[in-house]
Structure 1
Amino acid sequence: MNRELLRQIPKVDLFLNDKDLLDILGDHPKVLLVEAVRNVLDRVRKGIVEGRIAKVDRKVIKEEIAKELKKLVSPKLHRVINATGVVLHTNLGRAPISERVADHLKWIITGYSNLEYDLVKGKRGLRYRNLEWILK
């Protein structure tokens, strides 16, 4: 193990205000950048201890952090095709909904709604009141 190489590992703070990394982060919480930096620096540290890394290169570390950050901020859920033969397969999320319903839901969830508010009485209502007619 090379202690001098371990001392050369940059501190986490060095990367937290890096413009390129902040551009990748976008509107995501900064904790993701901290996680990406720590993950990469942990791998560098392990590589030095195991003798796989012979030089600490900040440029390479920054590139690895950028790759790690892109993985962390990328969407994890993807649309798939259900070719299982099971119409409602629980491992594939939920039953698909129509575009019309999705558009209406988007309109509702991007603002306030009367989920637990009785518009007629002007006071708190029951959460499931809007579903009772379906369940009868």
Structure 2
Amino acid sequence: MSEDPRRRIPRTDRLLAIAEVGAARRRLGDQVVRSLVREAQDRARRGELDPEDVERTVVDAVASRPASTLRPVLNATGVVVHTNLGRAPLSEAAVEALVAASGYVDVELDLATGLRSRRGAATRAALLQACPAAGDALVVNNGAAALVLATTALAAGREVVVSRGELIEIGAGFRLPDLIASTGARLREVGTTNRTHLHDYAEALGPETGCLLKVHPSNYRLTGFTSEATLAELQEIAGTHGIPLVADLGSGLLRPDEAVPDEPDAATALTAGADLVVASGDKLLGGPQAGLVLGRADLV
């Protein structure tokens, strides 16, 4: 009986130990390199690639993989500062800091058709890959804008139910009550500063409720005689009434990280029942100022 050729497919740890692959992990990140390794192994399992060629295929794949999914383009439009092509080229100092974003890029243009495309498509795809629990993603200019958009879409002219213990003030003097009021929605405060129970939310829900909001107090902690409802508990009553549940993570994470076990993350929040998660993208991703909206595709 002949040997199954799939047995000759190199193991993942062996492929990751290759010098060129190790260097690529530092340049591209572990997740990207592992996905290229799995792709080559899967091709070999399907018989599209000889097992003996997997190693060379992985080395070639990591060598040719760019650090960014953005593609440089030639701006022949006659418009120097072109909003569809990344606005102005970066200065020399900025190019040194952000090589991947230098010059004109296909930020809002479909190169296959020459037509305007959805802005930030590559960023959206990367966010959804990093947080599969989200049905769709939206990137805006900051976290406050993300919250304003979410509450405007869900509760303009109606009520936003939120705990009194979560009426926070964030950076640059943004106060949650003021942000909500600017959307045309009305705050329906429940509970007390230190203790808010599930029944407090349940008693406040009604025909005028636009959404239920759960806010993570990123830069302070309440300790002692305290109580709060979890997202999973809130989803039980929100789902029963058909009311969207929004979780504001502050900065947060895309998925759990053992280095910061107490920091909330979008994947866990969405799995627990949040319909939308909003967060500050610059703090979360370590990039330029941004706000993120993740969650149900129809709501996004």
- TM bin (shorter chain): 0.5 to 0.7
Bigger Rg, which one: 1
Q: Kindly tell me: are residues 97 and 11 of structure 1, through their superposed partners in 2, closer, same or farther at Cα, counting changes over 3 Å?
A: closer
1:22 equivalenced with 2:22 (yes/no):
yes
Residue 4 of structure 2 aligns to a residue whose secondary structure is: helix
**Is the CA contact (8 Å cut-off) linking 2:36 and 2:62 kept in structure 1?**
yes
The amino acid that maps onto 1:95 is: A
The TM-score with structure 2 as length reference comes to 0.27
Deviation at 1:82, TM superposition (A): 1.5
Alignment correspondent of 1:111:
none
Secondary structure of 1:85's counterpart equals: coil
Separation in 2, partners of 1:16, 1:84: 44
Query: Percentage identity across aligned positions?
Result: 30
Per chain length, whose mean CA-contact separation is higher, i.e. which structure has more relative contact order (CA < 8 Å, sep 6+)?
A: 1
2:126 matched to 1:126? Answer: no
Q: How many residues align?
A: 100
- Give the Cα–Cα distance (whole angstroms) in 1 for the partners of residues 86 and 5 of structure 2: 47
1:67-82 → structure 2 map (5 Å cutoff): 67-77=60-70, 79-82=72-75
Separation in structure 2 between the aligned mates of residue 74 and residue 3 of structure 1, nearest angstrom: 39
Instruction: Tell whether the 8 Å contact from 2:36 to 2:58 is kept in structure 1 after alignment.
Output: yes
Deviation at 1:42, TM superposition (A): 1.3
Structure 2 match to 1:11: 11
Distance apart, 1:70 and its partner CA: 2.2
Match of 2:83 in 1: 90
Quick check: 1:24–1:66 contact (8 Å CA) kept in 2? no
Q: Is the 8 A contact 1:33 1:69 kept in 2?
A: yes
For residues 26 and 61 of structure 1, the distance between their equivalents in structure 2, rounded to whole angstroms, comes to 21
- Structure 1: tracts of 5 or more residues without a match: 107-123, 128-136
How far did residue 87 of structure 1 move?
4.2
Alpha-carbon contact 2:25-2:33 (below 8 Å) kept: yes
Map Cα deviations across residues 14-66 of structure 1 (whole Å, 9 max, x no partner): 212222321333344222221111011112222x1xxx55x421xx2111101
Partner Cα separation in structure 2 for residue 5 and residue 125 of structure 1? 58
On the 8 A contact 1:36/1:72 being kept in 2, the answer is: no
Gaps of 5+ in 2: 98-169, 174-300
With 28-37 and 76-85 compared, the bigger mean Cα shift is at 76-85
Contact 1:32 1:72 in 2 (8 A): no
Do residues 56 (structure 1) and 51 (structure 2) align?
yes
CA-based RMSD of the aligned residues comes to 3.4
- Which of 49, 54, 66 does residue 59 from structure 2 map onto? 66
Aligned equivalents of 1:97, 1:29: Cα separation in 2 = 24
Q: TM-score, normalised by structure 1?
A: 0.53
Q: Conserved in 1, the CA contact under 8 Å of 2:27 and 2:67?
A: no
Q: Give the Cα–Cα distance (whole angstroms) in 2 for the partners of residues 125 and 90 of structure 1.
A: 28
Could you report, residue by residue, the CA deviation over 1:97-121 in whole angstroms, capped at 9, with x for unpaired residues? Answer: 5558x49xx6xxxxxxxxxxxxxxx
Contact 1:40–1:64 under 8 Å retained in 2 = yes
- The structure richer in helix per residue is 1
Alpha carbons of structure 1 residues 90 and 68: separation in structure 2 relative to 1, 3 Å: same
- Secondary structure, counterpart of 1:26 in structure 2: helix
